[in-house]
Amino acid sequence: MGDAILFDTLRQGLWAGVLIATPILVTALIAGVAVGLFQALTSVQEMTLTFVPKLGAMLVVFWASMGFMTQTLTEFFRSTIIPLIAGS
């Protein structure tokens, strides 16, 4: 396996990881900003108030985008990794 093939496979794998992680990370960002704004406006400084809504929102988005994540990872393996293993 040449260096170009290795680096291209790594690049595609990293891109697949970015695509898989994006929905959850964006949800955590939006929920964190919303809860932080709520805490700043009401002067409520409770630590569980930041954790529980973010966790709930991330679980909902994970459940909703699980099919997309599975399809992305499966397509990466089917189109990139398996042909490299098979040698074609």
Q: What is the DSSP string of 11-69?
A: HHHHHHHHHHHHHHHHHHHHHHHHHHHHHHHHT---HHHHHHHHHHHHHHHHHHTHHHH
| Confidence check: pLDDT of 37 > 80 | yes
Q: Using 50, 70 and 90 to split pLDDT, how confident is the model at 45?
A: confident
Q: Looking at residue 88, what is its pLDDT?
A: 61
Q: Looking at residue 43, what is its pLDDT?
A: 84
Q: Looking at residue 3, what is its pLDDT?
A: 87
